[in-house]
Amino acid sequence: MGVSLLGCGEIGRILARAVREGRAGRVQLRYLFDRDPGRSRRLAEELGGGVRVAGSFSEILSDPETRVVVEAASQAAVAEYGEEVLRSGKDLMVMSVGALADEDLLRRLREAAARGGSRIHIPSGSVLGVDGVKAAGLVGIREAQLTTRKPPAALAYSPYLKERGVDLSHLKEPKVVFEGTAREAVRAFPESVNIAATLALAGVGFDGLRVRIIADPTLDRNVHELRVRGEAGEMVTVARNVPSPGNPRTSYLAALSAIMRLRDLVETLLVGT
């Protein structure tokens, strides 16, 4: 199965290396594309050749061997390229899941997928319990709370905090920096809480999932605690994730989840949903 990559940052790099090393199953890396051509060229060189750098995104769209396009760029990239990927008959894997909090964009992507006979894939990401949330959603979820704790460096870049004059550089103790719905969270922290969008789409809803974000200087990793209560019972999960080696804002598990999703697309035995 041919895969092309949209976005050559940290997650894109991890995915590309996994595909080239055979850890994603029977998958071949076809094209790399990034808005910064230098970034895609550097990744191609790191991979040791044999992978094409797309001069324009249309090269990927016209490639008959590309079956799946993996978006690992930004919410803006999902909005800019998602529809044409799906209309072309290629599947789209979305890493910047927060983009789908935009109801109009989600509707257009689903319509494009229906027209193209393609599918939208959303990996479980860096939180545990997505399968359980999907199953519980069939009979009703009454309450859902996601509490995310991150080192200050993983949140300090946020325009949301800068606009409010929140300085985390000298933080000595944990500080709550956000409380609201999943819809509000993914807009305020577009690179940090894509898991909130994943859980929302799994069955909780963007306005049904409450999100609390805490900057914690005592941590060296990202911690996600999920509590869900509904007709199927109560679930509590805690994930303490090692940050990605090249980007403290990204959980390593998020990239690994995408690798496993690619493997599932070519496997004969599927475990979980």
Catalytic annotation, residues: 224
CA angle, corner 210, sides to 206 and 212, nearest 5?
125
| β-bridge mates for residue 211, sequence order | 146, 180
Nearest CA among 256, 266, 267, 271 for reference residue 14 = 256
Identity (one letter) of the amino acid at 261? R
Q: How far apart are CA 91 and CA 113, in angstroms?
A: 8
What is d(CA 209, CA 144) in angstroms, rounded to the nearest whole number? 5
Q: Element (H or E) spanning 169, and its range?
A: none
| Secondary structure string (H, E, C) spanning 174-227 | CEEEEEEEHHHHHHHCCCCCHHHHHHHHHHHCCCCEEEEEEECCCCCCEEEEEE
Cα–Cα distance measured from residue 46 to residue 57, given in angstroms and rounded to the nearest whole number: 21
Alpha-carbon dihedral angle through residues 119, 125, 130, 131, given to the nearest 10 degrees = 60
* Beta carbons within 8 Å of 246's beta carbon, 6+ residues apart: 10, 13
Alpha-carbon span 97 to 75, nearest angstrom = 7
Measured CA to CA, the distance from residue 21 to residue 204 in angstroms comes to: 36
